[in-house]
Structure 1
Amino acid sequence: MNAQNPVGRPAVRVPAPSASFWITKAASTALGEALSDFSIHIMPPVVAVLLGFVLFAGALALQLTRRRYIPGVYWLTVAMVGVFGTMAADVVHVVLGAPYVVSATVYALLLALVFVGWRLAERNLDVHEITTTRRELFYWAAVVGTFAMGTALGDFTAVGIGLGYLPSIALFAVLMLVPVLGYRVLHWNGVFAFWFAYVLTRPLGASVADWLGKPIADGGVGLGAGWVSLGFALLMLALVLPAALRARRKAYAGTASKYLA
């Protein structure tokens, strides 16, 4: 029996925080940023946004039909949230002309409303308790909000105030220490610390992707969004595949034990 699914308790549908979780999450944010940039350069932006939404909706629908955490499906959904969340933030800035600080503030308010609604409806924002469809819907609404807000925040520091991509990486890396130290040293509430860190992984990963992909003249390394997308896609595959194989072995062992008992 899986330790996350004791007798009489529904299975948790999302992964628990761990070192590998945070590394994979950061890779997914960078992938989302790079793939979004790459897609709008190889196809009309409207087509890219529509395609991004379709892929996001399809991945989310697949995830919601699962009744337990399946690494491949979950991280595919996170990657698609990364792509669509980036596009959503960019549309607000490019199409509507909203300054980055405005779009970041709007997304922050929407994210706050998601958390308030989640708290009122479920009394619990703990990711270890995502065992029902309603809780999972709140979870994914929060995830989308963090990606959109984080994208706008990263663009605001790098471009809006002219800090640049590499200094933005340093800034958000330092800020990531705040929830880590708050949780481990100051004994912050674990749920608050988790979502604090979750928000910051987005601008951190996006800044890394932009720094690697943007032209040298714009303060980047100049690798190009396509190569950066491929690199982070391979990194995510390398991170998720072992977890998927372990989950498969556990499921097989659990099924075998039932018939051998």
Structure 2
Amino acid sequence: MKISKYWQRNDTSAIGYHILNKVPEVTIYFWIIKILCTTVGETAADFLNSNLHLGLTGTTFVMGSLLIITLFFQFVSRRYVPGIYWLAVVLISVVGTLITDNLTDNFGVSLETTTISFGVALIVTFAVWYASEKTLSVHTIYTLRREAFYWLAILFTFALGTAAGDLTAEKLDLGYVVAAIMFGALIVIVAVAHLRFTLNAVLAFWVAYILTRPLGASLGDFLTQSKDDGGLGLGTVLTSALFLMVILLTVTYLTFTKKDVIATVDLSTAGPENLHEIQDDEWVASAHRK
């Protein structure tokens, strides 16, 4: 009898088995931390690459190793744990950025090619994900396969966002502030299209997710770069420390309040459509029949 780590028993109910979603609800806290994580990812990569002189290869190895370890704990966790989840997002933002930087700087691949390639890779990921699971919703990440698709998609969104953001900055020669305003405005347009004009929620989420990468990078560059280069000159250390502190405080708040925990599904009342979505777990079906 197979017992999935995605399930937990609650002895206060007759059947008492609940689906535990592995990712947070999309709230204002989600977007605040996401943008901060993106900025920290940008500044942390610059710090390791330039200040500690690890280079792109060394930085990629260090951050890639940390990401693998963090994702291991994320996958084996039975539920959404804010600290583990957001640490994974910070690290995957760095790794996604480094993948693009390695391709362009070390292998000479053009930004046009990387943008198109990661765009295609993301589309293929979504296509295979939907063909397998019949949904791309973040409210249904409660099987190992769906979580694997989820994190792969996130990796490609960071790589695509980095390539597209750098390409836009290179072609349009935008300043940091103008670039941040432009990408911020695009996110607002997506939000309005969803809230006012019924743009599909899943599509709106992933488009906004991609756009937060260049937005965060523009903010990071504006804060860290010297005043002569159009920035505030705060440096990577101070900027990373400040943003990490805000992330830590927000994640701590969410850990105690659970304001971003997606409601669970009680198997005692689950309908056929719920069982169909999780039919790969034999124990779930047998528990429902009891």
Structure 2 length as normaliser, TM-score?
0.80
What is the rounded CA distance, in whole Å, between the counterparts of 1:226 and 1:89 in structure 2? Answer: 23
**Match 1:31 to one of 26, 29, 40:** 40
Superposed structure 1 runs of 4+ greater than 4 Å apart: none
Tell me whether 1:179 sits opposite 2:170 in the alignment: no
Contact 1:100–1:160, Cα closer than 8 Å, also in 2:
no
**Does structure 2 conserve the Cα–Cα contact (< 8 Å) formed by 1:157 and 1:164?**
no
Pick from 1, 21, 29: which aligns with 1:20? 29
Q: Deviations over 1:88-139 (max 9, x none)?
A: 1111111112232322221111111111110111110000000101000000
- Looking at CA atoms only, which structure, 1 or 2, has the larger radius of gyration? 2
Task: Give me the whole-angstrom Cα distance separating, in 1, the residues matched to 2:170 and 2:236.
Answer: 17
Determine if the alignment matches structure 1 residue 194 to structure 2 residue 205: yes
Aligned pairs, how many? 245
Letter in 1 for 2:24: P
Correspondence for 1:79 among 64, 68, 90: 90
2:160 alignment partner in structure 1: 149
Matched, 1:163 2:171: no
> Which range is displaced more, 153-162 or 110-119?
153-162
Match of 2:253 among 230, 242, 251: 242
TM-score by length of 1: 0.89
Distance 1:161 1:124 in 2: 37
State the identity as a percent: 35
| Alpha-carbon separation, structure 1, partners of 2:237 and 2:110 | 27
CA distance in 2, matches of 1:11, 1:70: 11
Specify the alignment match of 2:53 in structure 1.
43
Secondary structure of 1:185's partner? helix
Return the alpha-carbon distance in structure 1 between the equivalents of residues 225 and 113 of structure 2.
Answer: 24
2:20 to 4, 11, 14: 11
Structure 2 CA distance, aligned partners of 1:140 and 1:183?
Answer: 24
**Aligned-residue offset at 1:47:** 1.4
| Change beyond 3 A, Cα 1:102–1:214 | farther
Aligned pair 1:233/2:210, yes or no?
A: no
Distance in structure 2 (CA, Å) of the matches to 1:191 and 1:26: 19
1:230–1:81 distance in 2 versus 1, CA, 3 Å: same
Residue 139 of structure 1 aligns to a residue whose secondary structure is: helix
Shift of 1:7: 5.2
Q: CA RMSD in A?
A: 1.8
The answer as to whether partners of 1:70 and 1:247 remain within 8 angstroms in 2 is: no
Provide the residue aligned with 1:255 in structure 2: none
Residue-by-residue CA offset, 1:207-250 (whole Å, 9 max, x unaligned):
100111122233222211222111111111111111112249x9
Q: List runs of 5+ in structure 2 lacking aligned partners.
A: 1-9, 262-290
